[in-house]
Amino acid sequence: MLIVCEGEKTEVNYFEAIRREKRIPNADIEIVPSDYGTSPLNIVEYAIDHFKKSKAFDRVYAVFDRDDHDSYHNALAKAEATDKKLKNDEGTATPFMAVPSVPNFELWVLLHFRDVLAPIHRNEVYAALRKLAHYPTYAKNSKTVYQDTKGRLPEASGRGVILRGRFDKHDGNDPYTDADVLTAELLKIAGRFG
């Protein structure tokens, strides 16, 4: 599995923490930041090019935020157009999935603590996370976010499912995340090693 993230730390740290805690071998999952920049289209293009270097992956995930990026919709379209068009080193068509979060990855973290059913600006997400009743010690780029929130994973995942049922990632304004889908996939893989 290849996971390419927009951020160099926040998302990478989160998914790496799952990989480490669940003792998923490095050979099975590669988690990297994009070397092409942080726009959603850059993330997707880097994921495609990184895949093509070795073709050693059977799945590719491009993790990015909506934020105020102009290329958000183009990135979704390119990811969808790429899905199962690339062939890995075994000649198998490779699933390619965009993992967007609207407005940002921190929405996924906030969903561990409360519902978010209306558009919310990224600054509001940070402020809500840091409330005493939620996650007052939250810090961007923290290496402990997964450990700090994993006990609330079922609630967050349920809220992610609700958002997908109510909103469409293509709209790009309503709260949305597929981070729960990728998290569940990692935990499923971990079950094979547990």
The pLDDT assigned to 192 comes to 72
Q: What are phi and psi of 79, to 5 degrees?
A: -65, -45
Distance between CA 142 and CA 22 in Å, rounded? Answer: 19
The tokens describing 80, both together, are 């969808």
Domain spans, the chain = 2-193
Q: Is 64 left (phi over 0), alpha (psi -120 to 50) or beta?
A: beta
pLDDT in tens, the chain (194 residues): 999 999 889 999 999 999 999 998 887 899 999 999 999 999 999 999 999 999 999 999 999 999 999 999 999 999 999 999 999 999 999 999 999 999 999 999 999 999 999 999 999 999 999 998 899 999 989 999 999 999 999 999 999 999 999 999 999 899 999 999 999 999 998 887 65
Distance between CA 115 and CA 3 in Å, rounded? Answer: 27
- Hey, how many other C-beta atoms are within 10 angstroms of the C-beta on 85? 10
Of 109, 96, 88, the closest CA to residue 156 belongs to: 109
- Residue in the structure block whose two tokens are 């995942």: 157
**pTM to 2 decimal places:** 0.96
The pLDDT assigned to 185 comes to 95
Burial label for 89, CB within 10 Å (0-12, 13-18, 19+), is: exposed
The pLDDT assigned to 194 comes to 55
Q: Is 172 left (phi over 0), alpha (psi -120 to 50) or beta?
A: left
